[in-house]
Structure 1
Amino acid sequence: MPSEKDAIALKQKGNKAVANHEWLNAVDYYTQAIEINDRDATFYCNRSQANIKLESYGYAVADASKAIEIDPDYVKAYYRRAVANTAILNSREALKDFKTAVKKDPGNKDAKLKLAECEKIVRHVEFLRAIEIGDPPSAFEGLDIDGIAVDANYDGAKLGEEMSQDFIDDMIQRFKNGKKLHRKYVYQIIAAVKKIVYDEPTMVEMEVPKGHQLTVCGDTHGQFFDLMELFRLNGFPTESHYYLFNGDFVDRGSWSTEIVLLLYAYKWLHPKAFFLNRGNHETDDMNRVYGFEGECKAKYTEKTFKLFSESFSALPLATLIGKKYFTLHGGLFSDDKTSLDDVRKLNRHQQRQPGQQGIMMEMLWTDPQPMPGRGPSKRGVGLQFGPDVTKRFCEANGLDAVIRSHEVRMEGYEVEHDGRCITVFSAPRYCDSTENKGAYINIGPDLKLDFHQFDAVPHPDIKPMAYAQNSLTSMM
């Protein structure tokens, strides 16, 4: 029989895995320790932290809650539950726990700081709710882009009425050198792409013609220099080399504006050969917490964020590749009756933000699980779906597989659910703290999937989340 000594040894292995940023291994070690002794609060609290790093915030809340149940005076557990709730925008619940942590440990300066920041978040959310109107005016209304003068000393390429490869090449070099585009060009790019994507269907349906190739990419999360490495290895977009970016272009990484402006520029240049799906981070609530709003304000203007926000709400939610691969950011649905036709009929323009329930939320937020059926979300938002759910959906809709992103995979991709559910993630060494590879999928006219992995490359010394509004996010 394993002993308490064995449980402590497993906890120490978990701690070592955390130190090495091996979050999945850490969860596994802590779980084994809990199986030996399920009354040690530290095992749950430590696993909560590893789950926070894995963005399994629902699991993190549950673990911290169990630690508090075992030891109601465990300040660190309140702290971690608060951080996890902050991550899933449950700021009121987080506020309660930060208050408890400070009450139980009045000398804890860090807890006091986080409490003050959380109070600011709650006040800001309440303010936004108070001024919210049902149908806000367009951010583009009254925007006179033509009337904005480009400074004579601007040293970049000039943008005319159409996007050009020369302008994109110059843009890439500017971004590599830490320079920005002129505000006029930023507005011009967003306005042009918003119009293009608004007119696309909620589910874009495309084929890969003979002599062409499609590359499907997962989350890039503001890791601009890693995106450059992907293009270096696989080739830049052209009229015959299609690309599909499957959401979460922004947030966390500190070059989110560079990534989304580049992707938008390619969309403008190749509107029928470059595709963009919306992710759960192309939403206002996430952008306020995870840095994109702050980055827009720091590098450009508050207006820039409002324009991006409106363009994000116009993005398609899915792409059907060759009638065989249903590609969307999150995953499948809470109801087996939901079909591709339901996605086709969804009017995404009536609802700018995904909300807490419904088809749009599920398309952006759900995750696969190994067990059959459906389960509560490990994130605390949405749900999880099993291999039987994926099989029924694919068979009912004549699909080979569902391609999705939304989650770190240590090898950059994973094929699960008997080959019917494929996750691709394109941000290697995610947030500079997870030792994962990045990946992308090449698909030719034969519709066979060709997986490629790549490693992170060096970037300037700017940390992830540099533009987030508060330091609560540094714990995530």
Structure 2
Amino acid sequence: MGDEEGLGAHDLQDIEIIMEDKEGLVCGEHSDMQDKHVDMELGEPTQDPISWPQNGEITLEWIVNLMETFKWASWNKSLSEFASIMPHFVVEELITKASHILCQEPNCVKIQCDNNTEVVVIGDLRGQYLDLLGIWESVGLPSDKQLFVFNGNYIDRGKSSLELFLVLLAWKVFLPHRIYLLRGNHESSDISEICGFLKEVNRKFPEHGQTVYRKCLEVFAELPLASIIADCVYTTHGGLFRSEGITSSQSFGEKEIQDDHGNKSGRKKQKITTTLCLGSLDELHQVSRFVQDLSAKDAILTDVLWSDPTTESGLTENNRGDAGLLWGPDCTEAFLEHSKLKVIIRSHEGPDSIACQKGLKNMLEGYSTDHEVESGKLHTLFSAPDYPQHTSKDYKSKGAYAILKPPNFDTPEFVSFEARKRHEAEIKTISFAQQSDSAATSSGADIAFRASGIATSPSWIISLADDVGTPAQISEASKVEGSPLPSDLQCRNLTSPITSTS
């Protein structure tokens, strides 16, 4: 490809990804990946449009062509031209293939590792496809000796949410035991509809957008909720969760009012206080996760995807989005001790969110250590650099990923990285603006949030272009290791649960 729209050749340089493990053998699960040295240059695609493999089996070459096609299109195609390079029926077939695998995985996937294996954990990517390619350029692709665990939030806010998610699904189909995709809070119908993903899909598939979107919602609901790596590291999107059967304390009820003589004189509203108890992995394993809409009745499911750590002890309701919990260092200690784990790696909060949490470290390097307790540590990991982009508050943050290495896997090595250079048209396409609380409350978007038990809708909007430079503003299966978890690794109900009365 030559220079286009004023871009220099260095801006369009190819990405070379070397997939070679320490023994020189790559991905032993597939015979077509047995070459001792595999060079992959992501440049101009070899075919246009993408077609489904004739025998229905995804190959390494097919995935590489998919990756390079999406990269090339991000620089050369508008959103409305996407269907010309990736027909809707190919998207639907890929999602169906991945669904057959994901639906068989347990809520909490156990990942066994040996002394020749490393695990890379990746946090929120938020549709920043070029940054995903940058990570793979740095550490290599999934292989027999390198596993990947993604903590969710693949979509929304970035231009290429669909491309990013489809590439990850393709790798999941190709190497189901080498890549694990967990669910984030944006992988739900209410949030993805409001925050940009639905609009992106409809613009990329004007005639078949609703069909593709529904297929995405189906596979979102099948994504596992957490992982346990090497018997010592727990990863999830949001964090810890309440015990089953405990209801929310953020509700109001009516109480009879009596006069001085004990006679009823009316009723008044008062806040209902409820004691919250920390949940266990046993309870997480029993959750019915196959729902597209998150609601208050799915308390544990919502907690896992929405909860945040805090410096204050105890377990309380989370005001951010009015969903999930806030948990303190004492809860981290209790969870690690009773689960016989050493590390928690969660995501969910970028530099904009963590800045609102008093006492917690910033996320400018893409990660933070939030709790250090006797049994281990809690880390937050965010893999979308320069986030949020093009707002009045520019954090100029880095993204990060974590590498877990043998023999113990319990000392994450965090690697920070800068954002990949973006096409000028992409920068124009992605813009965020602040919305007043009153405007958000009166919008139809807020109704969808409240229907899901979330009282306050987000205070930002996103612009997606019909064509390059023309923004239109909108409101923003295989058998799986560890299924079920061995009894000696499952967490008992806490004998001394952490409680807090709001």
* 1:37-436 equivalence runs, <5 A: 154-156=48-50, 158-160=52-54, 161-178=56-73, 180-300=85-205, 301-335=209-243, 336-349=277-290, 351-357=291-297, 358-379=299-320, 380-408=322-350, 409-418=363-372, 419-433=376-390, 434-436=395-397
> In 2, distance between residues paired with 1:199 and 1:234?
29
Per-residue deviation, 1:337: 4.5
Is the CA contact 1:208–1:444 (under 8 Å) kept in the aligned structure 2?
A: no
3-state SS, counterpart of residue 416 of structure 1? strand
Aligned to 1:444: 405
Equivalent position of 1:142 in the other structure:
none
Give, in whole Å, the separation in 2 of the partners of 1:182 and 1:471: 26
Q: CA RMSD in A?
A: 2.0
Return the alpha-carbon distance in structure 2 between the equivalents of residues 209 and 228 of structure 1: 26
Q: State the match for 2:263 in structure 1.
A: none
User: In the TM superposition, what is the alpha-carbon distance from 1:287 to its structure 2 partner?
Assistant: 0.7
Relative to 1, partners in 2 of residues 1:222 and 1:430: Cα closer, same or farther, differing over 3 Å? same
Shift of 1:430: 1.4
What CA distance in whole angstroms lies between the structure 2 residues aligned with 1:417 and 1:158?
A: 47
Alignment TM-score, normalising by the size of structure 2: 0.61
- Asked if 1 retains the 8 angstrom alpha-carbon contact of 2:121 and 2:151, the reply is yes
Cα deviation 1:148-200 (Å, max 9, x = unaligned): xxxxx944465231111111111111111215322222111100011100011
The answer to which structure has the higher strand fraction is 2
Identity of aligned residues (%): 31
Counterpart Cα distance in 2 of 1:155 and 1:338:
48
Aligned-partner Cα distance in 2 for 1:289–1:378: 19
Letter of the 1:253 partner, please give it.
G
Aligned to 1:457: 420
Change in 2 beyond 3 A, CA 1:314/1:156: closer
Aligned-pair distance for 1:238? 1.7
User: For residues 86 and 463 of structure 2, what CA distance do their matches in structure 1 show?
Assistant: 20
Shift of 1:472: 6.4
Once the two structures are TM-superposed, the CA of residue 431 in structure 1 deviates from its matched residue by: 3.3
Q: Deviations over 1:45-104 (max 9, x none)?
A: xxxxxxxxxxxxxxxxxxxxxxxxxxxxxxxxxxxxxxxxxxxxxxxxxxxxxxxxxxxx
| 1:417 aligned partner, one-letter code | H
Conserved? CA contact 2:51–2:90, under 8 Å: no
Contact 1:248 1:278 in 2 (8 A): yes
Per-residue deviation, 1:295: 1.1
Go from structure 1 to structure 2 and tell me whether the alpha carbon gap of 1:325 and 1:247 turns closer, same or farther (over 3 Å shift). same
Say which structure, 1 or 2, has more relative contact order (CA 8 Å, 6+ apart). Answer: 2
Secondary structure of the 1:216 match is strand
Alignment check: 8 A CA contact 2:385 2:417 kept = yes
Q: CA deviation at 1:423?
A: 0.7
CA contact (8 A) 1:324 1:401 kept: yes
Residues 123 and 347 in structure 2, CA contact (< 8 A), matched pair in contact too: yes
- Which AA in structure 2 matches 1:416? D
CA deviations 1:362-411 (Å, max 9, x no partner) are 00000000111134424132221111111111111111022100001221
The 1-side partners of 2:117 and 2:412 are apart by: 14
Partner of 1:101: none
Structure 2, gaps ≥5 residues long: 1-46, 74-81, 244-276, 351-362, 431-461, 466-470, 477-502
Q: Which has the higher helix share?
A: 1
Q: Secondary structure at the match of 1:177?
A: helix
> SS where residue 180 of structure 2 aligns?
strand
Please give the alpha-carbon distance, in whole angstroms, between the structure 1 residues aligned to 2:88 and 2:143. 26
Give distance in 2, aligned partners of 1:265 and 1:421: 31
- Say whether the 8 Å CA contact 1:157–1:170 is kept in structure 2: no
Name the structure 1 match of 2:14: none
Counterpart AA for 1:270: L
Structure 1: gaps (5+ residues): 1-152
